[in-house]
């Protein structure tokens, strides 16, 4: 083979790898972030804006421990859901304005369910955390990281399964499972070092 042919072959291999990497990694990664943005934002916004009346009104469960604890407040909940909804509406607008057809198409229902479900999952987690005798803010591996994923996607499965199946494909779901704990840790460390959170998790 001439040098020219070898060169062309190498170029084609590089091009193929590039196309495969876009299809296999970059599109699922962008799709996962795009889908989960309305679910990712509520937690840090709740941490920033939270405080005031706790959702359980300081009441205890029959085991004598708080139902949810002081870490779950009305202000945090509503500010968080509002932020998730707001970013989702901006995403819907951007999709239309810039013709972002390669990204999953959000709807008003999808962004509402994701934002609400994320903090619902967070609350359900706190309920079980208290039942296990863990204090507010105490570390609970896996549950602390995936509560928002479980809450948002399970609620989506109940409310709009067609949207879930069409958009959260297997590769996208795998990417969500990989990036969520990484982002969670990153955001919580930023929260800790900037003084918003008491603990870096
Ligand atoms: N927050 C809030 N209301 C919510 C969720 C969160 O006010 N519905 C605020 C609280 O100030 C909370 C902070 O965000 O302390 C961080 O949230 P999170 O880590 O979920 O709560 P923890 O304090 O760790 O409590 P828990 O052990 O119940 O998870
Ligand atoms: Mg916590």
d(CA 64, CA 81): 30
CB of 119 shorter than 6 A to ligand 1: yes
- How does pLDDT run across 119-138, given as a tens digit for each residue? 999 999 999 999 999 999 99
Residue pointed to by tokens 């779901």:
173
In this predicted model, what pLDDT tens digit does every residue of 24-77 receive, in sequence order?
789 999 999 999 999 999 999 999 999 999 999 999 999 999 999 999 999 999
Domain containing 71 equals 36-193
Query: What number does the ligand 1 atom closest to the CA of 135 have?
Result: 27
Domain annotation covers residue 101: yes
Pick from 39, 153, 176, 34: nearest CA to 105: 34
The reply to whether 40 falls in a domain is: yes
**87 assigned to some structural domain:** yes
In-domain check, residue 27: no
Residue owning the nearest CA to atom 4 of ligand 1: 72
In a domain, residue 6? The reply is: no
Determine, yes or no, domain membership for 153.
yes
Distance 186 CA to ligand 2 centre (A): 14
> Does 63 fall in a domain?
yes
Number of domains in the chain: 1
What confidence tens digit (pLDDT) does each residue in 135-147 have?
A: 999 999 999 999 9
Q: Are 87 and 119 in contact (CB under 8 A)?
A: no
Structural domain contains residue 80: yes
Q: Which two tokens stand for residue 188?
A: 């919580």
Q: Would you say the CB of residue 47 lies under 6 angstroms from ligand 1? A: yes
């Amino acid at each position: 083979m001439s040098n020219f042919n070898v060169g062309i072959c190498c170029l084609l291999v590089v091009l193929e790898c590039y196309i495969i990497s876009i299809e296999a990694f970059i599109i699922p990664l962008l799709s996962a972030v795009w889908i989960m943005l309305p679910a990712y934002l509520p937690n840090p916004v709740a941490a920033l804006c939270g405080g005031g009346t706790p959702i359980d009104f300081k009441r205890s469960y029959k085991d004598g421990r708080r139902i949810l604890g002081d870490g779950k407040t009305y202000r945090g909940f509503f500010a968080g859901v509002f932020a998730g909804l707001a970013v989702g509406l901006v995403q819907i607008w951007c999709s239309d304005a810039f013709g972002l057809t390669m990204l999953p198409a959000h709807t008003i229902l999808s962004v509402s369910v994701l934002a609400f479900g994320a903090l619902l999952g967070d609350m359900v987690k706190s309920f079980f955390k208290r039942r296990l005798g863990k204090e507010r803010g105490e570390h609970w591996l896996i549950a602390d990281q995936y509560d928002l994923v479980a809450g948002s996607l399970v609620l989506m499965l109940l409310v709009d399964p067609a949207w879930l199946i069409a958009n959260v494909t297997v590769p996208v779901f795998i990417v969500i499972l990989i990036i969520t704990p990484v982002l969670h840790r990153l955001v919580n460390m930023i929260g800790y070092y900037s003084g918003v959170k008491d603990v870096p998790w």
